[in-house]
A and B are shown apart, each in its own frame.
Chain A
Amino acid sequence: MRSLWPSIEPLLDGVTKPARYIGGELGALTPEHRPGAVSWLLIYPDTYEIGLPNQGLQILYELLNERPDALAERAYAPWVDMEAAMRAAGVPLFSLENHLPATDFDVLAFNLSAELVYTNVLNLLDLAGLAVRSAERSAADPLVLAGGHCAFNPEPLADFIDAFVLGDGEEVVGEITEVIGSWRAQGSERQALLEALASLDGVYVPSLYEVRYAGDALAEVVPASPAAPAEVRKRTIADLAAWPYPKAQLVPLTEVVHDRLNVEVFRGCTRGCRFCQAGMVTRPVRERPGEQVREMVRAGLARTGYDEVALTSLSTADFSSIEETVRAIVGGECGDQQVSVSLPSLRVDAFTVATATEIARARRTGLTFAPEGGTWRMRRVINKLIREEDLYGAVEAAFANGWRRVKLYFLIGLPTEQDEDVLGIAALARRCVEIGRAYHRSPTVVASVGGFVPKAQTPFQWCRQDTVEELRRKINLLKEACHKVRGLSLRWHDPEASVVEGLASRGDRRMGAVIERVWRAGGTFQEWSERFDMATWAEALAAEGLSFDAVAYRARDEDETLPWDHLSAGLHKDFLWSDWQDALAAVAVEDCRWTPCYDCGACTGAGLEHVVASPVPPAGGSQGTGQDLSRGDRVPVRFTAGVGTR
């Protein structure tokens, strides 16, 4: 064990934000590397500021360090200036705790939260001093693992990663540790380790599968070893209450995103938004008991000194105990000091705004809603069942309660989208500004527009993606429609980045060579607009005989083999297909937490159930449950200008 700190320290005077590389956070451990303990390096392949708050990584960090047979340290992607300094000085990728070289670890485990970081994964393997391709690494090299939402189509990284983990990591990291421990004790070949890992539920070892093509099309991905199951199913923890982690959330010494206490209130989501991979792959819903949430908030605030807590989930206003919990926190039951609460992913209705009002007594700057679609028809297609009256009610409540800025998230390039759906975004945003004028002289509405990227294991996995040109044309339509509307500002995501994300989200194993080419051409940090380079991707695709048309812009048939067909997020393929057909017909489905099961497969197939404390939908029950969907496009007349000058 040799600390690289003496070689790292001299580099830090010459780089931006050197505090990214020092470790020392509150909650950080300095585990002792000892014989018999499997050492994990948990890597987030983006900058420290983005990666540090990641809750999944922090949960595994604690769980592994609690085990007598394991230990874990962390690493993040050094920014380009630090990487250059490290390469010039011969310093490899290092851990933040003991500043040890990555190759001192038994396992390098990557968190894959977004597709555009894939080139960073290769870069970090290389910076560690390893061959990027699994086939070129030996038994003496660390085992390279990856998990996270992107692992539900792991094929683009299949040539670089030894094994992927699908689903919740809490249990399986322990099983992997034991497999590695006993493999090491026996001193057998790498192949034996891979086969033993493949026998674990939720672990996919791509090298044990053969990929067959029929011409240019993917024919099948089949086991090439008796150790490899025909289908790998994701892991799911049944009860979040049994996993009150992180117990000692890391408090960074320097500024990061989401710099606050984060407490996960539930995992999974059954609202059924058809574009949302996170909602589809994390089912069923598993709530944490309200009392446990409050205790975690209490202990967390006292330990960290934070004055802000986020109650995290995919739709926190749906948490059964949301009202008691918010009341307890703002009422001082979780600490004597003033604490602000943030609720990411707000549901859109007036009830939610009332909750938000209660918690934002002091800081009332901006409120964000995500209607996603510009017209009621479009929102039925994507199953984001926000009626016009809910949205305008929410916006009016927000302005009436003192907010001056409302931010609205939308997607363009959605299936069946017509220009009138796109223009509906502008109409809706303009109307929100008008509502605001009744309460403030200069209300602000920000409409933020992203290009839709179809994702694996969702009903939209068969859908064609809009071309760059088509997305640009739609953005221009919106620019014209929003032009010179005082108080309305339009923001949009780069269409080229959306399309490249689409290559990685639905590509098959052949995409690996493209990713490698882009990395070799210097294309790291592609999710950073100043580093993204479309030309490099286009060249790499062409060099591999692939195209945007074949991977991104093309709709798939029902009987086409998808690159992830041998992997299961628990959802039946026929459920996904029928949901896709419903989408095309603009038919909505309700949230199954409070309505009968329609057998998506997430619960029934795994012997699980939703863990939801409340037997009835939340007050305000938006998104279809118990609502009259026939009048979703009605605009209530009382929201015309001049009303409500309270």
Chain B
Amino acid sequence: MTERLRVRFVKLGKVRFTSHRDVARMWERAVRRSQLPVAASQGFNPRPLLAFGLALPTGAESLAEYLDITVVDGAAVVPLDQLARDLSAGLPVGVEVAALGWVTGDAGSLQEQVTSCSWDLEVRGVRASELARRVEQLLGAPSVPVQRERKGRAVDDDLRPAIRSLSVTPRQQDCAGGGSVWLQAELATRPRGVRPRELADALGADVVLGRARRTQQWIEHGGERREPLGMGAGLGTAIAAHAWERAS
């Protein structure tokens, strides 16, 4: 009887320059090293059954990445706090497990479930007051047109419906600080997600996007909003702070 294990992990510091595919390979190796009894795909080239959530753009950091691992025999899995340590030990500096938990069988995949993501975005090139004015303007606009390329063709899209919330963070205190302003945004994933860079561009050509950090992913269902996996007992925050120290 296969069971699904959900992992929440962070990606911070230098390792943020690796791609989504790179992260998938890191996890495959870490899972093999941990000796977790992971299920394999069928076919000529069996791969461990790892299902990743929304891709994180290369260069962005995250406190809330998710991964579902299908295991062959849940009873054979070591205690989860032990497993979290084993997995983190096999991952590069900056990638660490923040929480682990079992998922009930009928929950959909991460890709299907997640409806929006919260971001902290570092912005340079404009003062906080000017940025706040533009944010108001953007939120007040009926539509925010953008040109995208799909299947090699230019398509007109509207960013506005996907911008759930946007605000200038007051007096952000962050180790990366210094001459920059931080935005907080919640961006929907459907029908099409908004990339942090697209949002920055929509705020003006002079707006330069610095660090982008995904802080939360959300599942909205029947008016309720929850995270795919809570941080649980402060474990996540503790690990994130620690990972941040080591990775930068």
Contacts and interface: CB of A to CB of B under 8 A. Distances in A.
A10 to B, nearest CB: 9
B134 interface: no
Contact of B29 (A19, A304, A336): A304
A21 B15 CA distance: 10
Interface in A334-380: 336-338, 362-365
Interface stretch (A22-30, A123-131, A309-317, A548-556): A22-30
A363 B33 contact: no
B230 to A, nearest CB: 28
Contact of A305 (B19, B21, B22, B30): B30
Contact of B33 (A302, A362, A365): A302
A638 B207 CA distance: 73
Contact of B59 (A12, A336, A337): A12
Contact of A363 (B21, B32, B45): B45
A253 B22 CA distance: 6
B145 interface: no
A24 B29 contact: no
A620 B4 CA distance: 49
A149 B34 CA distance: 39
B29 A251 contact: yes
B78 interface: no
Nearest to B34: A305
B125 to A, nearest CB: 13
B53 interface: no
A304 B28 CA distance: 11
Interface in A1-58: 5, 12-13, 18-19, 21-26
B55 interface: no
A254 interface: yes
A306 interface: yes
A96 to B, nearest CB: 10
A22 B17 contact: yes
B90 interface: yes
A307 B45 CA distance: 12
A10 B21 CA distance: 22
A363 B35 CA distance: 22
Most buried by A among B40, B44, B90, B92: B92
A24 B15 contact: yes
B22 A254 contact: yes
B92 A362 contact: no
A22 B32 CA distance: 24
A19 B17 contact: yes
A18 B58 contact: yes
Contacts of A253: 15, 18, 22, 26, 92
B71 to A, nearest CB: 14
Contacts of B14: 5, 22-24
A13 B59 contact: yes
Contact of B19 (A254, A302, A338, A363): A254
Interface string B88-132: 001011100000000000000000000000000000000000000
Interface in B49-75: 58-59
Given A18-B58, A338-B46, A255 B92 contact: no
Contacts of B25: 255, 259
Contacts of A336: 35
Nearest to A301: B32
A19 B22 contact: yes
A172 B33 CA distance: 36
A614 B92 CA distance: 42
Contacts of B92: 24-26, 253
Contacts of A365: 44
A254 B32 contact: no
Given A363-B44, A364-B44, A19 B18 contact: yes
Contacts of A19: 17-19, 22, 58
Interface string A277-302: 00000000000000000000000001
A254 B18 contact: yes
Given A253-B92, A307-B32, A364-B44, 19 more contacts: A12-B17, A19-B17, A19-B58, A22-B17, A24-B15, A24-B92, A24-B93, A26-B92, A253-B15, A254-B18, A254-B22, A305-B30, A307-B28, A336-B35, A338-B40, A338-B46, A362-B44, A362-B45, A363-B45
The 10 closest A-B pairs by CB, nearest first: A305-B29, A18-B17, A305-B33, A305-B32, A22-B14, A19-B18, A254-B22, A19-B17, A253-B18, A22-B17
